[in-house]
Structure 1
Amino acid sequence: MSQRKRFTEIDALRGLAALAVVLFHYTTRYEERFGEVSGGFSEIFSLGEYGVQLFFIISGFVIYMSILKVKSVSDFAIKRSFRLYPAYIFAVVLTFTVVSLASIDQLKIDIMPALINLTMFQDFLGAPRVDGVYWTLRVEMTFYILMAILLFFKVEKKVMPIVISWLAFSVIIQLIHRNIDTEMTATIREFSIASFSHMFIIGIMFYCIWQHGNQLKYHAVIAMCIAYDLAFMSVENALITTVFVATFYLVINNKLQFLSSRVLVFFGTISYPLYLIHQNIGYVIINQLHAMGFTHPIYTVMLIGATVLAAYLIFRYIETPVQNALYKLYKGQRKPSGKKKMAVD
């Protein structure tokens, strides 16, 4: 299979997933939480919540590719930190400030939990989130920890027994919770990310297909993941997952190159800050607009445009320059004395 350095189509899919989540939160989820009609589009965009699952599949692909390129656990952790924290810390501060000044008490948290949020480990430490969308960061962080464990034991290339064991462990967790539905089993299921493990595994398998070709074992594991989805999640969930799987097959076989358009790739570029800042700040703005009588859907469209602009500004003036500065410093510290510099991805 022909190799490419980067799939811009995957960047575009990440952007489309982010937009789907934004539309879901500004319509369906807003109406659920606040009991107000948000432009009449709640049913149309109700499937937007599944954009998060597409994120996880993409993460499985990209992060597994990353651990095959790094030299150590510390290298992986440092690079991930550089990628995640600049935009995240800014988003936490911005969201906390905006929500604190607003009149929606159910979105507010105290300053100490907000400071804990700066670590990105608020869920592990039992602190409330500054923004509800940060729940996915716990899932991602758990996946990163699992990938770091593979690196530590130098078994990252022994992917098949690892993913099969992981999926089997998830099945056990789901069965235990199904038969012993307690707060403890629910917590175990939540923090073992058993409800999303198959998404990451699908992403890993697609990387293997891209790298090693259409071997039956990779397709078999993907089929097992869809069956897992059907057995433990829902029919709708499994159908959406199947659509994502079909999309990925088309992408890695170069059948969706139209996704490489500059507009779609742009949304992929800003998808991370867009995801981080849109929900609670958006709720505050929608609530204020409704209080002033501005309920027409055009105002939701304008809000989405403003959120996209804000995400671009964060990407351009916060995320990119801080990341570049950190990478430059890291490269300088890793440069062996009297030898050529070591490359940093």
Structure 2
Amino acid sequence: MTNTLPRVRSAGGGQPQRTAERAPVAAPVSRLRALDGLRLVAALMVALYHYGGRSGDISKGWGASPKKLFPATHEWFSYGCLGVQIFFIISGFVICMSGWGRPLRSFFASRVARLYPAYWAALIIVTAVFALPWVVYKTVTPSEFVVNLTMLQMPVGVHRVLGVCWTLWAELRFYALFAVCVVLPGATRRRVVLFCAGWTLAAALTATAEQPFLSAVFMPECAPFFIGGMGLYLLHRNRRDVTAWGIVAVSWAIGQHYAVAGLWHKPNPAAFSNRHASVIIAIITLGFLLVGAIALGWFRWANWSWLTVAGALTYPFYLVHEHLGWVVVGILHRKLHIPAPATFALTIAAMLALAWLLNRYVERWATPMLRKALTARPATL
């Protein structure tokens, strides 16, 4: 969810095995624009969930439960949360691609520069809006705000300004594991395969150990999707890689299990929605299939430049859409009395517009500037 795609040429059948293992050669690149488009689709899925697929805080914005406002579609909206799992698959693919042949300093700088500028801007905007006298929603103390700037508020135990931060915390842990185990020694197919196998086993054992520290490190419920994405990148380099096919298959099998276990419950008339296990499995499967189809080059024809723009808007949109969306929904629906379907569409359009502003006036200058500062060698005395 949080990455721009490096400009990578499809590796097609890949380099011969022995050559690939000798040294961490950077992957040849061309833009996979279809992946940019899929990232925005996943973000819009999450927005559908936040605006119409659950009860709680969004009900305050609407003035009523989305179940009453969208009786025919609220259950479908409730599946939108699975966009997060699709994000993780894409992230596994992209991080493996961007870390291949890159030194640790460059990898660290690229991730920090990509994540933090828009995140800081979103924190400031949301905090300021929530502090307005006519909003006053979950204001944070100066101390809590400062901790949120680090993106480490969850392990520290501080209130989250942005609700979606839990996914960023998962991304950070994935980056750290990948950096230490793959980027630091130098990315090769063998190291990536061993990392995927080791992480899969560690995550499976952690699920039975019930140790909070191990769960925080190995993330059993998220790991299959990151690992599956890395397996798909290996297939992007060499579609005949049988081991990579096995990594993807095992990751899909474990991932769909966790998705069903986390989202399915027995039918209950009092519940907001009743998700069907078969639909959950179908959406997870579709996510793997779509990223796989892009990895294998089946979407080369989707090479429109606007898909790059869509990918650029995804991260800032994801950061701001939830909490600011509640405020916009309240203004449009309860104060201006705009019908719920129109309010829904207008809110998404407003958040996309804000995302464009953040990308244009924050990310475009702050990201390269921060990356350059982090990769520069300290001046010698």
Are the counterparts in 1 of residues 225 and 255 from structure 2 also a CA contact under 8 Å?
no
CA distance in 1, matches of 2:149, 2:379: 33
CA distance in 1, matches of 2:173, 2:120: 19
CA distance in 2, matches of 1:155, 1:62: 16
Residue deviations 1:86-134 (CA, integer Å, cap 9, x gap)? 1110010001111121656664332321211111111121111101111
1:172 aligns with 2:216: no
Q: Find the residue that maps to 1:132 and give its secondary structure.
A: coil
TM-score w.r.t. the length of structure 1 is: 0.86
* Matching residue within 252, 268, 275 for 2:295: 252
Offset, 1:42: 2.0
1:297 aligns with 2:341: yes
Aligned CA distance change for structure 1 residues 54 and 232 (closer, same or farther; 3 Å): closer
- Give the unaligned 5+ runs of structure 1: 178-184, 338-345
1:56 aligns with 2:88: yes
* Matching residue within 301, 318, 321 for 1:278: 321
* Matching residue within 238, 241, 244 for 1:218: 244
1:77 aligns with 2:102: no
CA distance in 2, matches of 1:153, 1:254: 29
* Matching residue within 25, 48, 52 for 1:27: 52
Alignment of 1:68-217 (within 5 A): 68-72=100-104, 74-101=105-132, 107-151=138-182, 154=185, 156-157=187-188, 158-177=191-210, 185=211, 188-217=214-243
- Give the unaligned 5+ runs of structure 2: 1-11, 14-27, 261-276
Q: Find the residue that maps to 2:317 and give its secondary structure.
A: helix
The residue aligned with 1:181 is none
CA distance in 1, matches of 2:341, 2:58: 18
Q: Structure 1 residues 165-174 or 187-196, which shifts more?
A: 187-196
CA distance in 2, matches of 1:229, 1:328: 37
Identity %: 28
TM-score w.r.t. the length of structure 2 is: 0.78
The residue aligned with 1:311 is 355
Aligned CA distance change for structure 1 residues 296 and 108 (closer, same or farther; 3 Å): same
CA distance in 2, matches of 1:253, 1:152: 24
Aligned CA distance change for structure 1 residues 221 and 287 (closer, same or farther; 3 Å): same
Q: Structure 1 residues 11-20 or 34-43, which shifts more?
A: 34-43
Offset, 1:150: 1.5
CA distance in 2, matches of 1:101, 1:222: 47
CA distance in 1, matches of 2:49, 2:373: 39
Aligned CA distance change for structure 1 residues 296 and 231 (closer, same or farther; 3 Å): closer
Q: Structure 1 residues 254-263 or 168-177, which shifts more?
A: 254-263
Please report the RMSD computed on the Cα atoms of aligned residues, expressed in angstroms.
Answer: 2.6
Q: Find the residue that maps to 1:270 and give its secondary structure.
A: helix
The residue aligned with 2:9 is none
